[in-house]
Amino acid sequence: MLEVITHPNPILKKQSQVVTNISSTEIQALIPEMIETMHEKDGVGLAAPQIGKNIRMLVINHCDNELIIFNPNIKKKSFLKEWGEEGCLSVPGKYGDVKRHRSVTMDFLDKNGNRQIIKAKGLLARILQHEIDHLDGILFIEKAKKIHDIEPTLDA
């Protein structure tokens, strides 16, 4: 499992670089490691900057499907936005309300380097926008209102 970098580490504020060689051994090895880390940390998404890699790569778990995303680019955003509570593996114990577009259309490269288009709404649209913010050096706490702490719970 990879170490998740937490705020205020300056790596989280850097603009990530485009991935040019998706088929490289290093990049392909990173895919299952990021997926495992996301699951172990009970996250719904993980961006490469969160594990110290300054590249435009995300993994997302949505409806038990894992999306591996390279070089995402939001092409269209809904006019309508909505508020929703967000947290982040890189800002542990903090939650806040963030206003995001209700739906987005995004293109990206998959793990094989093939161009894909996804139209997302609701929770998936929110996750995509949150994770893409990481690639641009933006943390949810910079956009959030009503930030509050959640005490960790002990499993019985």
How high is the pLDDT of residue 109? 98
Q: How far is CA 155 from the centre of its chain?
A: 26
**Amino acid identity of 29?**
A
How high is the pLDDT of residue 63? 85
The C-alpha atoms of residue 106 and residue 50 are separated, in whole angstroms, by 21
Two structure tokens written together for 61: 């778990």
CATH of 10-149, one of 3.40.50.1700, 3.20.20.70, 3.90.1150.10, 3.90.45.10: 3.90.45.10
Return the SS3 of 52: coil
Q: Tell me the C-alpha to C-alpha distance, in Å, between residue 65 and each of 19, 45, 85, 104.
A: 23, 11, 22, 18
How high is the pLDDT of residue 153? 58
Find, among 133, 126, 141, the residue nearest to 47 by Cα: 133
- Tens digit of pLDDT per residue, the chain (156 long)? 899 999 999 999 999 999 999 999 999 999 999 999 999 999 999 999 999 999 999 999 988 889 999 999 999 999 999 999 999 999 999 999 999 999 999 999 999 999 999 999 999 999 999 999 999 999 999 999 999 897 665 554
Catalytic residue chosen out of the listed positions 66, 131, 142, 151: 131
**Which residues are CB-contacts of 9 (< 8 A; sequence separation ≥ 6)?**
90
Give the CB-side neighbour count of residue 48, counting CA atoms within 13 A. 25
In the chain, where are the structural domains located?
10-149
CA dihedral (62, 124, 53, 5) positive or negative = negative
131 is catalytic: yes
The pLDDT tens digits of the residues spanning 5-26 come to: 999 999 999 999 999 999 999 9
Q: Tell me the C-alpha to C-alpha distance, in Å, between residue 80 and each of 2, 77, 101.
A: 36, 8, 6
